[in-house]
Chains A and B, each alone.
Chain A
Amino acid sequence: MKEFEFTGCIEIKELLGRKADNELQFMEIIEEVPSDCIYYHTHSYFLRHFYLAGQYPNDFANWAAIQVRDRVLGEKLGAVTLLPPKSIEDVRAEIIDIVDDHLSEIKMVPAVVYGEPFYFMKSRIIEVPLGVKTKDLAGFVKALEKVHASAVYNHIFEARLRVKKGKSDFAIWFDEVLGLHGLAGKIEKIDCYMYSLEGLREKIISLCGEEMR
């Protein structure tokens, strides 16, 4: 039987040296930045927030709401969903459409007055095999309780998007190796963008516990 090996990850944060002081600049720079930048401010947001989910689940929405104090744009950008696994370019296009529509509606350009500009960054993810392997569900739960939270990110978020599998590594292993089709389905149905990594870890452990009962 194929073992499951837990792999954590580390993010190298790179600064692009570009910033936006208003929402028009913000949109124009989003059009130009590399895809690793869009990834950094949307997907890997979850890697940086182990415990505390922010006001909205991506950096773009939080900047608009908190720094520009434009709650309307914040809410709209906060609703950008990354599921079902969308390509980074799809996410970029959706964000640009939202900001463009918003600016057309209000006929002025909201800018930072008291807050901080938006600083664009990009992400490089390094996978780190943790040397923790398991053959069955009980061993999986025991290991998941202890591994670094970045393994949860890597096997759920990274696997779904960057590796373009469309499914999490956990669901694939439950489905294809353990034959636990129901559990795999439940894992795939979790709206993971509404959880912190620790919350997600607890949720998965709880679903596995129900399966073992």
Chain B
Amino acid sequence: MGNVTIESYREVAPPGAIDLIMKLAGRVKKKTFLHVNSTRYGGGVAEMLHRLVPLFNELGIRTRWEVMEGTELFYRTTKSFHNALQGQEQAVTSEMYEEHRRVNNENAARLPLEADFAIIHDPQPAGFVEVKPKKAKWLWRCHIDISRPQRNVWQFLKRYVDKYDGAIFSLPSFAQKLTIPQFLVYPSIDPLSDKNRELTTEEISGTLSRYSIPRDKPMILQVSRFDRFKDPMGVIAAYRMAKKYNDCCLVLAGGGAADDPEGAQVLSDIKNAASIDKDIFILDLPPDANVTINALQRAAAVVLQKSTKEGFGLTVAEAMWKGKPVIGGAVGGITVQLVYGRTGYTVNSIEGCAYRIRYLLNNPDIAAKMGENGRDYTRRNFLITRHITDYLSLIATV
């Protein structure tokens, strides 16, 4: 993570944002802050906590991060919970519920949980609330899309959630009927991470050369897991419609195929669909290919996120941060991130997507202006500095 300090963000955050953070932090300096989740490495939550925890300590708020441990059955259970809460029907047995309870009790008894304020992340450690000290304030932070949860799993979890002092969701549509306050905190990107930092021309061209991506035609890019909800086949169809009028290439960069049978099938389908077109590049990237993704986003002319179902989809904010116009499916968090006609377009069909690709390729000045707007919009709304401000204001008021 290098020597990143709160001052490092002054260059990239909105004017006055760091001063505001410092003033707000001054109010809660004497409080102690705790995060609890289920993994130290891998996944967006852990990635964000690696950055947030040192920054909060630098701001004078003594902040700790505890990680629970589980059994194979526990992780299988929480994977089922995850899918069920996101709306996929799962068979969850009483043995699985019992394992969730048992592992939560065991970890809650073992880990030091003293703090004035705590954020417990996601369903895995939700049961820790049973040992919440009376004077402490605890919030349950839900990072997943629970707009249409499987009822029995949600009812199990809700019994815990109602015992917190509040819940935090990433989108208004994720709100539930609860007896506690529900707060909205959007996810964020870290502008100083490998995925988003400025790159040299050599780093960008090196990436394009490595994958033999041509530089003499504009690149249309979608970065996402190989998943049907990301509609990669729709992306290929839209690209083909646009290519009849404007020469361009398409890069579909993603991952998740190695450990997911469905992802492997999607990847195979995409490869079959693309096989005859030498201007389609399918990159199955490892999870740590952050600089590669950064370089591709910076080299793209237009970035797509043509999902048909989406939680928050931070790839939209990542692309906007790099000054790119984005065309996204009109679903979930994409509608929050894209301001129609200002930072890009939300679309509802393959035809709409193809039309907007053509429009942006033929109007580079408008595309550039949208990219500029998108960078400003992201600076205000989706950077880690805004995330810090949100957490500080919750510590100050809950």
Contacts and interface: CB of A to CB of B under 8 A. Distances in A.
Contact of B397 (A12, A52, A146): A12
B37 to A, nearest CB: 22
A158 to B, nearest CB: 15
Contact of B20 (A12, A124, A130): A130
Interface in A49-82: 50-52, 54, 66
B23 A130 contact: yes
Interface stretch (B70-78, B177-185, B227-235, B237-245): B177-185
B380 interface: yes
Contacts of B348: 114
Residue of A126, A128, A149 with highest tally of chain B CB at under 10 A: A128
B376 interface: yes
Given A14-B183, A52-B342, A128 B20 contact: yes
B107 interface: no
Contact of A151 (B16, B330, B343, B376): B16
B197 to A, nearest CB: 23
B323 to A, nearest CB: 14
A10 B376 contact: no
A54 B377 CA distance: 12
Interface residues of A, number: 33
B175 A16 contact: yes
Interface string B152-191: 0000000000000000010011011110011111000000
A15 interface: yes
B396 interface: yes
Contact of B23 (A14, A124, A131): A131
A159 interface: no
Interface string B377-398: 1001100000001100110110
B373 interface: yes
A52 B19 contact: no
B339 A52 contact: yes
B17 A148 contact: yes
Q: Which 7 A-B pairs have the closest CB atoms?
A: A148-B16, A119-B172, A15-B175, A13-B184, A15-B182, A17-B175, A10-B393
Interface of A: 8, 10, 12-17, 19, 48, 50-52, 54, 66, 114-117, 119, 121, 124, 126, 128-131, 146-151
